[in-house]
A and B are shown apart, each in its own frame.
Chain A
Amino acid sequence: MALNKNSPRVLVVDDEPGLADLIASALKFAGFQPEVATNGTAAIKKYLADKFDIIILDVMLPDMNGFDLAKKISTSAPRTPILFLTAKDSTEDKIRGLTVGGDDYVTKPFSLEELVARVNAILRRAGNDAGGSGRVEFHGLEMDEETREVRRDGKLIDLTTTEFRLLHYLLSNAKKVVTRAQIMDYVWNYDFGGDSGILETYISYLRKKVDFKEPKLIHTIRGFGYVIKNKENP
């Protein structure tokens, strides 16, 4: 695979040299230009000397905390997106709070395929690329059918299976009003005793998770059904 000058540049920061090399090899194989740093100081030096499209950053570094390093980097503009590497731990919640914009995180042990896919996804978001198969996007609300991930303005939203199906149906019919019966047919396509407002309950849960910020996207059409639209910017 030939590299060209336009290939995205990736800074890989991990104190485990073997792992950093492995990631670098995989990225090179996928057509990126990786650079490796094994501690925080070296990472800052390389970051200042060169321009990178994305940084892959281990949260646990010998000389400094990955979060502190991220804060130092984010003061410079334009901000470079960061993909955090973490052992699935309590740090996961911390990262969730921290990740903004194009940021993301991957938990160890990860597969290299997943890592490369995430890097691609972040770069695509950074480049405001809407394309890609199995992806739906509406006013900053993105849905990836394969990874079953939902984000709003880059922030990961944790949805249950039913919530995902419901949002998927609404999103694939964006700007079109869908009736209660249509939704029930698609999402609740199995036998269950009585309705008892199950759809309304799920819509309220979905609103809490998706419409955590303005503008609100999920709207009720009274006596008819629901629609996903942006009233302010149709």
Chain B
Amino acid sequence: MSLKSRLLVAIIGLIAFIFCLVDVVTYNSLQTFLIGREDQQLFQSVSEMTHELVRATQININLGTNAAGSVGTTSLQAGALGQLRDNGAIVTSIQVSYGNKTTAFQPFPLVTAASVKLATSSQQAIYVTATPKSSSEAYRVLIYPLSQTYVLLEAFPLTAVNDTMTNLLHFEIYTGVLAVAAAILIGLLAIKLSLSPIDRIRKASKAVSSGDLSQRLEVSNPKTEIGELQTDFNNMVARIQEEFYLRSLSEQKLREFLSDASHELRTPLTFILGYADLLLKNSYSQDPSIEKIKEQASRMSKLIEELLVLARLDEGQKLQFEPVDLRLLAHELAADVLLLDPSRNVKVNAAEPMFVMGDSIKLRQVVTNFASNIFNHTQEGTPVSVTVTTEDNYGVYIVSDYGKGVTDLNKIFERFYRENKVKSDGGVNSGSGLGLSIVYAIIQAHNGTITARPTELDSGLTFEVKIPLADR
């Protein structure tokens, strides 16, 4: 459940609870008050009613002090004098009713014998509310013990009281529903308003995580909790931005330095290579160490060229993207491998054109590096296969050799890593250790991936390159 709905439910629940509580209390107290008033009237008419009934019936009852009510006009609807027999039955001596004769009312069937008995035995007036079977109207009935055997009953309809209570109930329901509706509306609005800064913080955080470090929040009120959060957020992003800037600045400097250094090393290298050449051509000096100088100088020259390529790629060199057919790159790999070693068995599985978005010159560099890697690290005649296929939205280029494989797959893309400094045939591995690093950097610049694995269980080396397909 979201914070919004939880808050809303809480507000509505609270409002409904308060309303219900107030309603119940109001309803009960009003009812108690109104019925109390009726009871008082009933009690005040006891004396008058008794006299009237006694006069009418000629029954001699010792009234004692029980009938000491004031005598006045009465709004009673009915009264009755009853005699309680020993067997519990009530004998009605006389009943009188006032008002409309058609609704003549018989109080006695209303009350139970038990209530009557209780009243006579305790000599206490008892008030009950009862509804006769013939009508739906409720009555308030007073059971008044006149002696041990005689009781006076008075009844008064509760129509007015019940009407008032029904009206109150309706009023309470209407106001309750209205209040809850208002609470929902106002609550939604208030929640939305008070949570909108959080929404903005969320959006800004999202933008920051996707790389936009220029995001800042408007601080609404720095003294509120939200305000503090906004200020802290701004400070945090500013700090991160500064760190990133400083880091990229130093990285930039380092890359520029690497690029410049490689560049500056070329001229002295040209000298070394040149003079070694001249000395070798000079028939007077056939010193084999000159051959070594030339060999190592050539190697260093190659190394510097590759370092420069890497430095440029690291600097974020812009690539010239165009649709490039991976199928043709598979054929180029076959041609390159056979050019270096015609004795190899090469297999190409690339039946259909497969266009990816790429820089054709850079991707050809990848192919060349794969070919020289195969040439340098597998024995003469080792078979090679290259497969082009597709997976999701990527063109997949798989190069496999069936040589001995490598011992540490995790390191082969590391710069300057060389598996064997001495080749299997005894010659010096003249690789720079940068070829596959360049491949890795080029594939990364293409938003692609490259992975290495053994071709077979524990032998051979397979590279799998994935590059996004071109929209065609």
Contact = CB atoms under 8 A, between A and B. Distances in A.
Contacts of B263: 87
Contact of B348 (A29, A87, A190, A201): A190
A109 B265 CA distance: 9
Interface string A76-89: 00000000000110
Contact of A19 (B270, B336, B351, B364): B270
Contacts of A16: 267
Interface string A16-53: 10110011011001000000000000000000000000
Given A160-B364, A190-B338, A112 B277 contact: yes
Contacts of B304: 109
B339 interface: yes
B258 interface: no
B347 A109 contact: no
A87 B312 CA distance: 14
Contact of B331 (A18, A109, A194, A198): A198
Contacts of A201: 325, 328, 353
B273 A162 contact: no
Contact of A161 (B327, B335, B352): B335
B223 interface: no
Given A22-B278, A201-B325, A109 B273 contact: yes
B346 A190 contact: yes
A165 B270 contact: no
Contacts of A189: 338
B308 interface: yes
Contacts of A25: 278
A205 B347 CA distance: 23
Nearest to B264: A87
Contacts of B332: 160-162
Nearest to B301: A109
A189 B335 CA distance: 9
Interface in B259-282: 263, 266-267, 269-271, 273-275, 277-278, 281
A153 interface: no
A109 B346 CA distance: 34
Interface residues of B, number: 37
A110 B270 contact: yes
A25 B279 CA distance: 11
A156 B101 CA distance: 130
A189 B327 CA distance: 16
Nearest to A16: B267
B164 interface: no
A198 B267 CA distance: 44
A168 to B, nearest CB: 11
A108 interface: yes
B328 A193 contact: no
Contact of A192 (B269, B277, B336, B349): B349
Interface string B286-306: 000000000000100100110
Contacts of B346: 190-191
B371 to A, nearest CB: 9
A202 to B, nearest CB: 8
A19 B327 contact: no
A124 B353 CA distance: 42
A162 B269 contact: no
Size bracket, chain A contacts: 20 to 34
Contacts of B267: 16, 19, 108-109
A162 B330 CA distance: 10
A211 interface: no
Nearest to B308: A88
B331 A162 contact: yes
B266 A109 contact: yes
Contacts of B281: 29
Nearest to B360: A160
A138 interface: no
Q: Which of A191, A192, A194 has the most CB of B within 10 A?
A: A192
Given A161-B332, A191-B347, A22 B274 contact: yes
A188 interface: yes
B467 interface: no
A196 interface: yes
Nearest to A198: B331
A192 B331 contact: yes
Contacts of B271: 18-19, 22
B13 to A, nearest CB: 71
A111 interface: yes
Contacts of A165: 335
Contacts of B334: 162, 190, 192
A193 B338 contact: no
Nearest to A201: B328
Contacts of A188: 331
The 3 A-B pairs of least Cβ separation, nearest first, read: A192-B348, A161-B335, A109-B270
Interface of B: 263, 266-267, 269-271, 273-275, 277-278, 281, 298, 301, 304-305, 308, 325, 327-328, 331-332, 334-336, 338-339, 345-353, 364
Given A26-B274, A26-B277, 7 more contacts: A22-B278, A88-B305, A108-B266, A108-B267, A112-B277, A190-B345, A193-B350
25 contacts: A16-B267, A18-B271, A19-B271, A88-B305, A108-B270, A109-B266, A109-B267, A109-B270, A109-B273, A111-B298, A112-B273, A112-B278, A161-B336, A162-B331, A165-B335, A190-B338, A190-B346, A191-B347, A191-B348, A192-B331, A192-B347, A193-B348, A193-B349, A193-B351, A196-B351
